Amino acid sequence: MVNLTIDGKQISASENTTIMEAARQNGIPIPKLCYLKGINEIAACRVCVVEIEGKDKLITSCNNMVEEGMIIYTNSPKVRRNRRTTVELILSQHNCECVTCIRSGNCSLQRVANDLNIIHIPFKMEIEKQPWSKEFPLIRDSSKCIKCMRCIQVCDKVQSLSIWDVEGTGSRTTINVAGYKKIEEAACSLCGQCITHCPTGALTERDETEKVWNAIADPEKIVVVQIAPAVRAAWGEELGLSREEATVGKIIDVWRRLGADYVFDTSFSADLTIMEEGTEFLQRFTSGELKDRPMFTSCCPGWIRFIKSQYPHLVKYLSSAKSPQQMFGAVMKTYFAEKLGVSPEKIYTVSVMPCVAKKSEREMDLYHGEYVGHDVDAVVTTRELLRMIRAAHIEPSTLMDQESDRPMQEGTGAGVIFGATGGVMEAALRTAYYLLKGENPPADAFQAVRSTGFNEHQGVQEAVFQVDDVTVRTAAVSGLGNARALIDKIERGEAQYDFVEVMACPGGCVGGGGQPIHDGEELAFERGKNLYYLDKNADIRYSHENQDVQKLYEEYFEKPNSHKSHMLLHTEHMK
Ligand code: HC0
Ligand code: SF4
């Protein structure tokens, strides 16, 4: 241990602790902008400077370690002056139109400037705005970039894609897509992790809320909404609702108040996905088709974009099942439209997703008789949902639990855990066991695929399950860097699996790129616990016991992997 003094407080910290961390452990927060624990500890912004007694030069606290006998001041006049100038210089190159910024109220730069009581900016430089496509689901506004490097590091170290790079020199240094490419030409997975780790409004999702407002206002359109599993685990964070208060039932109430015609829970179609994908897995597994490579799940569009650009030769091992988002859209425009007695054109489908890549997944086509269109018409992230709640002046405390509409009402605990890493695998195994044995396993029999923290086994949960004489080797991985390491192991013959679940975002959809932002704080596994709690307390925990899914098969699809389900619920990933 090392003994030292910070702001007059005598403390001890273990060796190799940074000054920032030692201060934090003792209730002394040091302001910062670029710092991201374990990912970006490069002291680029210099906001975290501190004064050391006896030393002339201030030092950065994020990358300097505590030393025996140090006397540190985190907020001396010298520190404050220096920090203030640093922030003023950053602001001089920053587009400070905060009132029209999506991150206003949740911007680390705004907070640091406010805390320093900077009420005017003494100098201003001309700010160049780089061109950017308005069509791409990931939007970058270079005039708001503070060159903290977080996006570069997250994309590189966590997602192994290195989409961003530094460009230019001197005061013209900026961040842009590496290799002077346009973002559309780069291999961006659209995971959105650079957005959730950006301290300002430089990176955002393409806003689709206006499209949704217009559809709601259009009397010709029947607006049908679905809410993804992981949204319920995070939407309350910005509204001051506790985990217990922030139910999916209240999100359903939100959409009814916003004017949607029908509201459903994506857990329903997660159960439908399990019926299709579980059946497909057993067919491929028992036919010996999976001898050399596993079947990969296909519900995460960030992962689909990744495998297509990084491992195109493995695309044929993807499950052909569409994701729950797409399946639900297809069911809404066919089965449900028929129930309502309207044509698919009248139905406008909206998904609320914790994800940015879902905005590109929706471009998938739906062919149904005469109708050619999309399963899903608009995708809003959890953050966009929150903006709509605010725009409609809905007071969160007045929201009441409501049930989703019929006939696609039921969603099981198995469908809910889709939003956490390992959840799709666990749900699939519960049903695969039933399909093999004709009886249910204990609901928690496959919990070995759950993951409880970051960096645990490099984001991989492996498990082998024995059902009579059948052995199924599984792995669930989250984070694309972890996925790359796992695939490389499979490719080198160092690991063999039958079934692999991949989620692009660390922790799964709960940590998705469309979720609320907390200045780089990682909440995925906390949110995941919420989904496991909901599963544990669900009346039904097996997808095959979802009675509304059973009815859908009876009335429409006949059976899993039938001709009709292949037409509407599966896709050809080779395209
Ligand atoms: Fe997910 Fe999904 S679990 S990808 O994370 O499979 O986005 O929540 O909606 O589609 O259900 C996201 C979440 C979904 C889909 C489901 C899957
Ligand atoms: Fe990289 Fe993901 Fe951002 Fe694309 S969305 S640039 S893959 S971090």
* pLDDT single digits (tens) 345-381: 999 999 999 999 999 999 988 888 888 899 999 999 9
CA distances to 162, 164, 458, 553 from 158, rounded to whole Å, are 10, 13, 11, 41
pLDDT band with cut points at 50, 70 and 90 for residue 163: very high
Q: What's the rounded mean pLDDT across residues 185-190?
A: 97
Give residue 350's pLDDT. Answer: 98
Residue 481 has pLDDT above 80, yes or no: yes
Q: Which ligand is nearest to the CA of 270?
A: 1
With the most atoms of ligand 2 within 8 angstroms of its CB, the residue from 36, 39, 133, 138 to mutate is 138
Query: 248-259 pLDDT, tens per residue?
Result: 999 999 999 999
Q: Atom of ligand 1 at shortest distance to CA of 297?
A: 6
* pLDDT digit string, tens, across residues 424-479: 999 999 999 999 899 999 999 999 899 878 777 788 999 999 888 889 999 999 99
The structural domains of the chain, ordered by start, are 2-115 (3.10.20.740), 138-205 (3.30.70.20), 207-575 (3.40.50.1780)
pLDDT band (50, 70, 90) for residue 115 = very high
Atom of ligand 1 nearest to the CA of 424: 6
Decide: 512 in ligand 1 pocket, CB within 6 A: yes
Torsion of CA 183, 184, 186, 192, to 10 degrees: 70
pLDDT, the chain, mean: 95
Instruction: Give the closest residue (by CA) to ligand 2 atom 1.
Output: 155
300: DSSP letter: -
pLDDT band at 206 (very low <50, low <70, confident <90, very high): very high
CA of 491 to the centre of ligand 1 (A): 27
Q: What is the pLDDT of residue 174?
A: 87
Q: Which ligand is nearest to the CA of 191?
A: 2
pLDDT the model gives residue 506: 95
In which band, very low, low, confident or very high, does the pLDDT at 575 lie, cut at 50, 70 and 90? very low
The alpha carbon of 356 and the centre of ligand 2 are apart by a number of angstroms equal to 10
Cβ within 8 Å of residue 552, ≥6 positions away: 272, 331, 335, 407, 408
Pairing of strands 138-140, 203-205: antiparallel
Which atom, in ligand 1's list, is nearest to the CA of 228?
9
The CA 50 to ligand 2 mean position distance, Å, reads 33
What does DSSP assign to residue 570? B
Instruction: Say what percent of the chain tops pLDDT 90.
Output: 88
User: Whole-angstrom Cα distance, residue 44 to residue 28?
Assistant: 21
What's the CA gap between 50 and 424, in Å, rounded? 47
- Does the beta carbon of 355 lie inside 6 Å of ligand 1? yes
Q: Determine which of 170-184, 212-226, 269-283, 308-322 has the lowest per-residue pLDDT on average.
A: 170-184
The whole-number pLDDT of residue 574 equals 56
Ligand 2 centroid–CA 347 distance in Å is 32
Tell me the two tokens of residue 428: 């699939």
Task: Give me the amino acid identity at 26.
Answer: N
| Cα pseudo-dihedral 19, 22, 23, 29, rounded to 10 | 90
Supply the DSSP symbol for 235: G
CA 274 to chain CA centroid, Å, is 21
Whose structure tokens read 């919420």? 530
422 pocket-lining for ligand 1 (C-beta < 6 Å): no
| Residue 342 and residue 321 in contact, taking contact as beta carbons nearer than 8 Å | no
- Taking each helix axis from N to C terminus, what angle separates 423-437 and 267-286, rounded to the nearest 10 degrees? 60
Q: Ligand 2 mean position to 140 CA, how many Å?
A: 11
324-331 helix and 267-286 helix, angle to the nearest 10 degrees: 110
520: pLDDT strictly greater than 50 = yes
How crowded is residue 536: how many other Cβ atoms within 10 Å of its Cβ?
12
Q: What residue spans of 136-266 are helical by DSSP H?
A: 150-153, 193-196, 209-217, 248-258
Q: What tokens appear for 21 in the block?
A: 């961390």
Cα 229 to averaged position of ligand 1 atoms, centre (Å)? 6
Within a 13 Å sphere around the CA of 198, how many CA atoms are in the beta-carbon half? Answer: 29
> 12 in helix, strand or coil?
strand
Site to substitute for ligand 1 among 251, 296, 325, most atoms within 8 A of C-beta: 325
| CA–CA distance, 256 with 225 (Å, rounded to integer) | 10
Q: What is the pLDDT of residue 527?
A: 96
* Angle CA 157–160–163, to nearest 5: 100
Rounded to the nearest whole angstrom, what is the distance from the C-alpha of residue 163 to the centroid of ligand 2?
A: 6
Read off φ and ψ for residue 199, nearest 5 degrees: -75, -15
